[in-house]
Amino acid sequence: SNRANKPKILAARDISSVAGYMKSKDCKNVMMMLGAGVSTSAGIPDFRSPETGLYSNLARLNLPHPEAVFEINFFRRNPVPFYTLAHELYPGKFRPTITHSFIRLLAEKGLLHTCFTQNIDTLERRAGVPEEKIIEAHGSFATQRCIDCSETFDDNDMKRHILQKKIARCVSCGGYVKPDIVFFGEALPEIFIRAVPNLRKADLLIVMGTSLTVQPFASLAERVDDSCPRVLINLDHVGSFGSRSDDVALLGKCDEVVRDLCKELGWDDELNQLWDET
Ligand code: APR
């Protein structure tokens, strides 16, 4: 389809046009793509922000390069850095943010089709986003298995090992146990692969808190139809945003942009109430 003569969906590339569109009958299926930037205000560092990002703080774990902490071959040789990070990131210690409550509010308004997240912190489900609407593209700490024989490992036993900074070993073969988090080079979960085609149904794509540097997740942003406006809520410009006539960049801290957007939508009281309950 030729983009040039597509009628512009949005009146302008600004927050009030986005709000106006979201309340129109044309906006039925909102797709979201999340990255670590939506959890930084919960106290969980992102990966690539200079100074504060995890990758600039892992140096103390003397890794050959920061990403090694999520590389299976490095883990096989030395699982200590990952287990150290897992201890710091382990779900349960962090409260979801007001941005996570916004995602739940979209679901309660019947607008959320699917929330694709790269995050392993489970804050989306902890905020009350319906589980069937969440796709954890990079897995999560929910389950774990042996990297050698794939035997699953008991959930509570794993939780105890991580909290006590002990390396869990397979009861069958003695191999190292790793949570079902997608490491670099590993396949993404089946549930992600099956959900990707649904992006065609998006009437609005909202991308929040991600550098869009990791594939195949980042490519989701290219899969929405030309007629689907794409909204970036991020500290800085990323990916191909700006290349389409209906791309809107709402730059800033996601919690602040979300508050402004909900004010425009007249949803600020509901948003605050949801967040207060979290
Ligand atoms: N508000 C808005 N944007 C923010 C905020 C915030 N409060 N904090 C950080 N950001 C932005 C950063 O500017 C950056 O553009 O969020 C983005 C975070 O990017 P990354 O740190 O690269 O995190 P992410 O995109 O989720 O990384 C993707 O890389 O290491 C792998 O598997 C890991 O899922 C992760 C993937």
Tell me the binding residues for NAD(+). Answer: 36-40, 46-48, 118-121, 210-211, 234-236, 254
**Contact between 106 and 274 (Cβ < 8 Å):** no
Asked if omega into 216 is within 30° of 0 (cis), the reply is yes
Residue 61 has pLDDT above 90, yes or no: no
pLDDT for the residue 3: 44
Rounded average pLDDT over 41-62? 87
Interstrand relation of 134-136 and 139-146 (parallel, antiparallel or unpaired): unpaired
- From 53-62, 162-171, 266-275, the region with the lowest mean pLDDT: 53-62
Residue ID of nearest Cα to ligand 1 atom 34:
118
Rounded average pLDDT over 152-171? 96
80-89 contacts: CB < 8 A, separation 24 or more? 80/167, 82/178, 83/161, 83/162, 83/165, 83/166, 83/167, 84/165, 85/54, 85/58, 85/61, 86/141, 86/162, 86/179, 87/162, 87/163, 87/165, 89/44, 89/120, 89/121
Cβ–ligand 1 distance for 139 under 6 Å, the answer no
Q: How far is the CA of 208 from the centre of ligand 1 (A)?
A: 9
Residue of 100, 113, 138, 161 marked active site: 138
pLDDT for the residue 59: 72
Residue 1 has pLDDT above 80, yes or no: no
Cβ–ligand 1 distance for 159 under 6 Å, the answer no
65 classed as catalytic: no
The residue among 23 and 93 whose pLDDT is bigger is 23
Mean pLDDT of the chain: 94
User: Ligand 1, from 89, 235, 251: best to mutate by most atoms within 8 Å of Cβ?
Assistant: 235
**Contact between 101 and 162 (Cβ < 8 Å):** no
- Tens of pLDDT, residues 68-87: 999 999 999 999 999 999 99
pLDDT for the residue 270: 98
Cβ–ligand 1 distance for 138 under 6 Å, the answer yes
Residue ID of nearest Cα to ligand 1 atom 36:
214
Tokens describing residue 58: 């892992």
Would you place residue 89 in the very low, low, confident or very high pLDDT band (cuts 50, 70, 90)? Answer: confident
